[in-house]
């Protein structure tokens, strides 16, 4: 088809001529050839890049100062768990019996402990320490080193106006051997006076 024939057809069809003019106008205004019109195709790539960057920064922040793959403070926690496991095994072998007596006169609390072996023979321990913890206010805990009152009997006291549930953790040392136990008691507030007596709830 000759150029003259093509020009004649375009002149004969006004819509074709108008479409050609519109396309030429779009090309003139957007030399990138429609790149801006397709800019949304780059959004997933951009989001993926941001996700990878954030993940990398998070991992680096977590492992800085720690060996890769190791939980922070892992060594200390593992050593503590191992020590507790060994102490529980020791308690089971010794099977000592610690009988507590807790009394209150206002804010003045007294703790008395009797220590016996599994055959009910008194143990004249070298040291008996009791950690006294109010369950709802653990930061107000007290540590009391009991004094010997008689063979196998020890007593001590502390002051606290906090009432409610208390946890008592007992540590007995005799001849290089360490025994631990624990029990709970409900203590009244400063206006009451009570005396609770009983055998420990179980080996701690």
pLDDT digits (tens, 9 = 90+) for 136-155: 999 999 999 999 999 999 99
Q: What mean pLDDT value characterizes the chain? A: 78
Q: Provide the pLDDT for residue 130.
A: 98
Percent of the chain with pLDDT over 90: 51
Q: Hey, what are 97's tokens?
A: 């019996």
In a domain, 151, yes or no: yes
Q: Provide the pLDDT for residue 44.
A: 74
In a domain, 173, yes or no: yes
Distance from the first to the final alpha carbon of the chain: 103
Q: Provide the pLDDT for residue 203.
A: 41
pLDDT at 46 over 60: yes
Which of these, 142, 152, 161, lies nearest to 121 by C-alpha position? 152
Contact 59, 68 (CB under 8 A): no
Which of these, 170, 171, 200, 172, lies nearest to 185 by C-alpha position? 200
CA–CA distance, 170 with 144 (Å, rounded to integer): 10
Q: Provide the pLDDT for residue 137.
A: 94
Q: Name the H helices within 64-155.
A: 74-94
Contact 135, 165 (CB under 8 A): yes
For residue 170, the domain's CATH number is 2.60.40.10
- What's the whole-number mean pLDDT along residues 148-166? 96
Beta bridge partners of 202: 182
**Number of domains composing the chain:** 1
Look at 63 and 152; give whichever has higher pLDDT.
152
In a domain, 60, yes or no: no
In a domain, 44, yes or no: no
pLDDT at 12 over 60: no
In a domain, 83, yes or no: no
Look at 203 and 65; give whichever has higher pLDDT.
65
In a domain, 42, yes or no: no
Domain that holds residue 139: 95-203
In a domain, 16, yes or no: no
Q: What is the dihedral of CA 17, 22, 25, 26, to 10 degrees?
A: -140
Which of these, 180, 185, 171, lies nearest to 110 by C-alpha position? 185
Query: Residue 190: helix, strand or coil by DSSP?
Result: coil
CA–CA distance, 146 with 151 (Å, rounded to integer): 13
Look at 56 and 130; give whichever has higher pLDDT.
130
Across 45-49, 114-118, 194-198, the highest mean pLDDT is recorded for 114-118
CA–CA distance, 149 with 173 (Å, rounded to integer): 16
In a domain, 107, yes or no: yes
The per-residue pLDDT for range 71-122, each reduced to its tens digit, is 556 667 777 888 999 999 999 999 999 999 999 999 999 999 999 999 999 9
pLDDT at 30 over 70: no
Percent of the chain with pLDDT over 70: 62
Q: Residue 134's Cα: distance from chain center in Å? A: 21
């Amino acid at each position: 088809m000759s150029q003259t024939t093509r020009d004649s057809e375009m002149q004969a069809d006004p819509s074709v001529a108008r479409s050609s003019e519109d396309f030429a106008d779009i090309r003139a205004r957007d030399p990138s050839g429609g790149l801006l019109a397709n800019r949304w195709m780059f959004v997933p790539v951009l989001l993926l890049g941001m996700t990878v960057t954030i993940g990398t920064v998070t991992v680096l922040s977590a492992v800085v100062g720690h060996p890769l793959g190791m939980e922070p403070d892992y060594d200390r926690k593992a050593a503590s768990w191992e020590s507790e496991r060994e102490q529980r095994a020791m308690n089971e072998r010794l099977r000592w019996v610690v009988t507590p007596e807790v009394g209150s006169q206002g804010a003045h609390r007294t703790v008395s402990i009797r220590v016996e072996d599994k055959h009910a023979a008194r143990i004249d321990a070298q040291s008996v320490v009791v950690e006294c913890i109010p369950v709802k206010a653990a930061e107000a805990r007290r540590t009391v080193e009991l004094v010997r009152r008689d063979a196998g009997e020890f007593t001590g006291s502390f002051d606290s106006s906090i009432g409610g549930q208390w946890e008592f953790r007992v540590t007995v040392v005799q001849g290089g051997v360490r025994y631990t136990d624990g029990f709970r008691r409900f203590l009244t507030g400063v206006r009451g006076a009570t005396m609770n007596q009983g055998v420990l709830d179980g080996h701690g």
